[in-house]
């Protein structure tokens, strides 16, 4: 399924080298102020430009095709379309027959019975993260307009290639003509205590589910995460300091029993390095022979540096759905103000 969420439902569409990509959003409350200008800052943050990012230059022009009237959402499905302007498919011609290891190429070939769009990773491309960012903008606007207490979403790259000196690590990777991954820390503050629907629609479960949709994310941990497995109970237990849930160390990363526990929700993501450069060992889909694929296309030396805004967006999308599931955000926001306009 290409749809995320129960009430605030998000589907992505488009391919890296097709005419456009975008997000189809159902279940957004009516009355949320929304315009194309709202998307500019976050899409610019996701775009390339920093040292070590791709040479592809997209303007990321947004078109609100449906679901918005007179500057407010109507409650009908919202289609956000983002044009693909800087497309160079020539470098990807060989991928039709030679799938890249570590990419969706081979499983997508088999899944589609040979009908996949191979250009630039097709529907599995990192380009689709622009649509995730757009959905995050809608979710944040809806949360802001819903008169719930402010919820903040923050993410940052804290390590690249195992080093905290990100600029130096990326510069060195670029100099060597290689690529590096990174660790992103995410933080959501202001979630109401008790948010989350155990056993299955837990805060950890839904966030991880959505974060793993970001191409290249290979690990997610909350709080102490894997360190819990190494520490004894008396080393890693926390202390509750207040009825509202405030803990001394927040070792659980803000989630206990699948529900927000009154502390910041804190998680870490492992992002892998780009692998599609130089010579790749693979097989020919037409002959079955082992072959070497020489990649000449454009790749990021450290695409992880483009992902914090995507992580924030995904966190906002999941949060809005959880807030709707728990009844804290309804069908309509700002109703009286909206009605007085007509």
Ligand X SMILES: Cc1cc2nc3c(=O)[nH]c(=O)nc-3n(C[C@H](O)[C@H](O)[C@H](O)COP(=O)(O)O)c2cc1C
Q: Which is nearer to ligand X, 266 or 293 (CB)?
A: 293
Smallest separation (angstroms) from ligand X to the CB of 330: 33
Q: What b/e sequence results for 69-86 when a residue is b if at least 16 CB atoms lie within 10 Å of its CB, and e otherwise? A: eeebbbbeebbbbbbbee
Q: Site residues for ligand X, window 23-62 (CB under 6 A)?
A: 54
Report if residue 84 touches ligand X, rule: CB under 6 A. Answer: no
3-state secondary structure of 217: strand
Q: Site residues for ligand X, window 131-190 (CB under 6 A)?
A: none
Q: Among 270, 275, 283, 332, which residue interacts with ligand X (rule: CB under 6 A)?
A: 275
The window from 24-32, 79-87, 138-146, 209-217 that contacts ligand X (CB under 6 A) reads: 209-217
The window from 154-162, 163-171, 212-220, 239-247 that contacts ligand X (CB under 6 A) reads: 212-220
Q: How many residues bind ligand X (CB under 6 A)?
A: 20
Distance of CA 123 to the CA centre of its chain: 15
The window from 124-132, 142-150, 325-333, 334-342 that contacts ligand X (CB under 6 A) reads: 124-132
Report if residue 306 touches ligand X, rule: CB under 6 A. Answer: yes
Report if residue 312 touches ligand X, rule: CB under 6 A. Answer: no
Give first-to-last CA distance, the chain, whole Å.
39
- Beta strands (DSSP E) in the chain are 3-4, 9-14, 20-26, 62-66, 68-69, 72-73, 78-83, 152-160, 182-189, 217-222, 255-256, 259-260, 265-271, 278-283, 290-295
Report if residue 124 touches ligand X, rule: CB under 6 A. Answer: yes
Residue 154: strand pairing partners = 187
CA separation for the pair 319, 333 (Å, rounded): 17
The residue among 144, 2, 26, 16 whose CA lies nearest residue 79 is: 26
Report if residue 300 touches ligand X, rule: CB under 6 A. Answer: yes
CA separation for the pair 117, 87 (Å, rounded): 14
Nearest position to ligand X, beta carbon: 126
Q: Which is nearer to ligand X, 14 or 338 (CB)?
A: 14
Report if residue 215 touches ligand X, rule: CB under 6 A. Answer: yes
Q: Which residues bind ligand X (CB under 6 A)?
A: 54, 102-104, 121, 124, 126, 129, 214-217, 272, 274-276, 299-300, 303, 306
């Amino acid at each position: 399924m290409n749809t995320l969420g129960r009430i605030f439902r998000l589907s992505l569409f488009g391919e890296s080298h097709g005419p456009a990509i975008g997000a189809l959003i159902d279940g957004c409350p009516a009355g949320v102020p929304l315009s194309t200008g709202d998307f500019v800052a976050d899409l610019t943050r996701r775009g390339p430009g920093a040292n070590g990012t791709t040479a592809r230059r997209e303007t990321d022009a947004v078109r609100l095709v449906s679901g918005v009237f007179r500057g407010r959402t109507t409650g009908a499905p919202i289609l956000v379309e983002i044009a693909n302007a800087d497309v160079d498919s020539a470098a990807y011609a060989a991928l039709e027959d030679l799938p890249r290891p570590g990419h969706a190429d081979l499983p997508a070939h088999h899944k589609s019975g040979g009908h996949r769009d191979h250009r630039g990773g097709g529907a599995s491309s990192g380009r689709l993260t622009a649509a995730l960012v757009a959905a995050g903008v809608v979710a944040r606007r809806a949360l802001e307009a819903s008169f719930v207490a402010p919820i903040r979403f923050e993410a940052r790259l804290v390590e690249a290639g195992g080093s905290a000196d990100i600029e130096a690590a990326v510069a060195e990777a670029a100099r060597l003509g290689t690529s590096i991954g990174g660790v992103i820390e995410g933080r959501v503050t202001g979630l109401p205590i008790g948010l989350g629907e155990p056993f299955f629609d837990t805060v950890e479960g839904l966030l991880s589910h959505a974060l793993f949709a970001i191409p290249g994310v290979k690990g997610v941990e909350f709080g102490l995460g894997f360190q819990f497995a190494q520490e004894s109970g008396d080393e890693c237990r926390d202390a509750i300091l207040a009825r509202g849930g405030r803990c001394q160390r927040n070792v659980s990363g803000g989630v206990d029993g699948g529900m927000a526990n009154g502390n910041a929700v804190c998680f870490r993501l492992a992002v892998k390095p780009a692998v599609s450069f130089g010579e790749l060992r693979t097989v020919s889909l037409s002959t079955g022979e082992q072959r070497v694929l020489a990649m000449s296309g454009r790749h990021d030396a450290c695409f992880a540096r483009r992902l914090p805004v995507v992580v924030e967006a995904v966190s906002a999308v999941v949060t809005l759905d959880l807030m709707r599931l728990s009844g804290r955000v309804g069908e309509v926001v700002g109703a009286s103000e909206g009605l007085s306009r007509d």
